[in-house]
Amino acid sequence: YGNMESVENIEDGTKGNNIKLTIDLAFQDSVDNLLKSYFNSELGNGGARYSEGVYAVALNPKTGAVLSMSGLKHDLKTGELTPDSLGTVTNVFVPGSVVKAATISSGWENGVLSGNQTLTDQPIVFQGSAPINSWYTQAYGSFPITAVEA
């Protein structure tokens, strides 16, 4: 592993007295209840049968303060739901449709999109590789879609 030759103290550490908890407990409880309610509804109609859970983080857009971190882990074998708020930062997720809102917002902010402009949802093709499809384009092919529909 190697041997340490020397240690140089550049600056002494200080206590973390400046850390401020920004999570709003009442809001946190509301988000927890919303996740549980909607996820149970989706489980009931078969829409989340294969989902490993549901997670949400709410931030103050002006300050970046964390207002809530909520999560429910769904055991695919037993169907049991368990609270998993820390999963918002410790689990690894494949990004899905949640990326659409950020992409559209970036497009509006940078003047690439305007209003409810219609674009074509189509596979992405790089030379020498297989097309990259969304679930919809894989099933139905290319089609027009607005920001609201996305």
Q: Give catalytic residue positions.
A: 97
Burial of 107 (0-12, 13-18, 19+ CB in 10 A): middle
CB 41 within 8 A of CB 33: no
CA 15 – CA 6 distance, rounded (Å): 25
Task: Give the chain's largest Cα–Cα span.
Answer: 63
Give the number of other Cβ atoms within 10 Å of residue 1's Cβ: 3
